[in-house]
Chains A and B, each alone.
Chain A
């Protein structure tokens, strides 16, 4: 039961009741990203070379495509939540804030989709080439 008057709710006063969910997802994605970030950093820094063959072989090797896709998805999610808070804090005015929040959402979804597609493309093309030869 809510103690708030219906008018207060209609005027959007008080809590929106999705703060805890946002807070929790930000933490869960952070915990998930911690091992993935270490894996990615160590993996990239220990590449013997940054040429095309080395890089695509590394991206497609073993479980790397899965881990990379997970990293991209969770990092995009985590970044979207973080940027959202920054926009809410520093961008003032309803229109500017709404536009910034929507733009951030679109960019993060685009990053996740493009990144995962690129990884799958490299991994599957490598698999086809390896299977064909």
Chain B
């Protein structure tokens, strides 16, 4: 396998901020796979009855738990927005460099706005989620 031809590695290219978005798509994707474990644990605890659920709940409503939820929500919004960008590319739209850079800015802006909105709901007094 080692002697197979390799395409030029990422380090030979001049850095462009669109590359950061690309790697962030992977990072948030892996983070969301971890978050899926949390979601399933939450559902399983709820399915095991009130006592099991009550045992798990402090993990979610404490500050570390809320921070983890906030990160997962931010990752979801980013992965969602950038995923739509990827789907548009796959349909052949927005592939020009100027378009790709404009949509990159749009994705970051949408993520920031969406994440701040969701953080408000997560950290407001009663604290859902």
Contact = CB atoms under 8 A, between A and B. Distances in A.
A101 interface: no
A31 B127 CA distance: 30
Nearest to B120: A45
B87 A30 contact: yes
A79 B46 contact: no
Interface residues of B, number: 34
Contacts of A41: 73, 76, 118
Contacts of A68: 43
Contact of A83 (B30, B57, B118, B121): B30
A119 B43 contact: yes
B33 interface: yes
Among B44, B87, B127, residue most surrounded by chain A Cβ atoms (within 10 Å):
B44
Contacts of A99: none
A133 interface: no
Nearest to A79: B33
14 contacts: A38-B80, A41-B73, A41-B76, A44-B128, A47-B129, A50-B57, A52-B54, A52-B57, A59-B43, A72-B43, A86-B30, A111-B36, A111-B40, A118-B40
